[in-house]
């Protein structure tokens, strides 16, 4: 195990399904982050392939011009998932209590996860499942920023710097034999230039850690 028991704790330790029972039809990152993510998907994903959007919501940020053979959505709120027009099918499951994914081995060409990795209490188990359901040479793209539901993020994520969070996700990949060396993409500020002209600081930083199943 790469995390100690105390590092997996959440400030709000109530059932995650209760917390996510109310739908939130908002994007949890800014337009700059979303543009960066969609561009990355456009570069790394291939048309006519099978995609698993793990811990998804009412949007997946996939390029609209790409046609995938199947996009499977997973999350904790059925109402949000039902609104996601890019999903062909979805299912609700709490992977903190049951990380086993309901798919056969080597079922997907890609697994994507957007701004949700910070909520995984047993990432070793989840990443093992990601590896299992990926086809050989399949890709996993884990993207995140510095935003979170603070009370639901695990302690090690809350207590870490942004640089350390990147190292954490790399360690999740490295905990599973059969993943390639993780690739990291960092865009520290994704603020649209017009905001900078107005003197508005910040913008959501963009982080992505990418791994391929090589065996």
Digit-coded pLDDT (tens) for 115-150: 999 999 999 999 999 999 999 999 999 999 998 988
**Domain tally for the chain?**
1
Q: Where are any strands of DSSP class E within the chain?
A: 50-53, 70-75, 89-92, 108-114, 134-144, 183-187, 206-212
| Side-chain half-sphere CA neighbours of 167 within 13 A | 8
Measured CA to CA, the distance from residue 210 to residue 40 in angstroms comes to: 10
pLDDT digits (tens, 9 = 90+) for 58-96: 999 999 999 999 999 999 999 999 999 999 999 999 999
Mean pLDDT confidence for 55-60: 96
- In degrees and rounded to multiples of 5, residue 23 shows phi and psi of -70, 145
pLDDT of residue 189: 59
The pLDDT tens digits for 153-162 are 999 999 999 9
Q: 3-state SS of the chain: helix, strand, coil percent to 5?
A: 30, 20, 50
pLDDT at 203: 79
Confidence class for position 112, pLDDT limits 50, 70, 90: very high
Q: Which of 159, 158, 157 is nearest to 171 (CA)?
A: 157
Domain interval for residue 21: 5-212
Output the CA torsion sign for 156, 207, 151, 195: positive
Sheet of 134-144: strand order equals 89-92, 70-75, 50-53, 108-114, 134-144, 206-212, 183-187
Record the tokens describing residue 17, joined without a space: 């399904």
| CATH code, domain with 96 | 3.40.50.150
Mean pLDDT of 97-118: 98
> Taking all residues of the chain, what is their mean pLDDT, rounded to a whole number?
91
Q: Which of 88, 84, 37 is nearest to 63 (CA)?
A: 37
Residue 199 pLDDT more than 50? no
108-114 and 89-92 as β-strands: parallel, antiparallel, unpaired? unpaired
pTM of the entire predicted model: 0.91
pLDDT at 193 over 50: no
Going by pLDDT thresholds of 50, 70 and 90, the confidence category of residue 27 is low
């Amino acid at each position: 195990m790469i995390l100690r028991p105390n590092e997996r704790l959440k400030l709000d330790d109530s059932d995650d399904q209760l917390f996510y029972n109310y739908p939130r039809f908002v994007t949890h990152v800014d337009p700059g982050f979303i543009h960066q993510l969609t561009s990355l998907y456009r570069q790394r994903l291939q048309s006519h392939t099978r995609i698993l959007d793990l811990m998804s919501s009412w949007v997946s940020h996939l390029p609209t011009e790409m046609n995938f053979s199947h996009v499977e959505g997973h999350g904790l709120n059925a109402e949000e998932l039902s609104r996601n027009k890019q999903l062909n099918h979805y299912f609700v499951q709490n992977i903190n209590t049951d990380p086993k994914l309901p798919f056969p081995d080597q079922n997907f060409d890609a697994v994507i996860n957007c701004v949700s990795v910070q909520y995984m209490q047993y990432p070793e188990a989840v990443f093992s499942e990601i590896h299992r359901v990926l086809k050989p040479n399949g890709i996993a793209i884990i993207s995140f920023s510095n935003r979170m539901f603070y009370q639901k993020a695990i302690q090690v994520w809350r207590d870490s710097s942004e640089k350390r969070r990147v190292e954490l996700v790399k360690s999740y990949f490295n905990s599973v034999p059969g993943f390639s060396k993780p690739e990291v993409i960092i865009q520290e500020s994704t603020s649209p230039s017009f905001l900078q002209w107005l003197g508005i600081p910040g913008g959501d930083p963009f982080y992505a850690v990418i791994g391929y199943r090589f065996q």
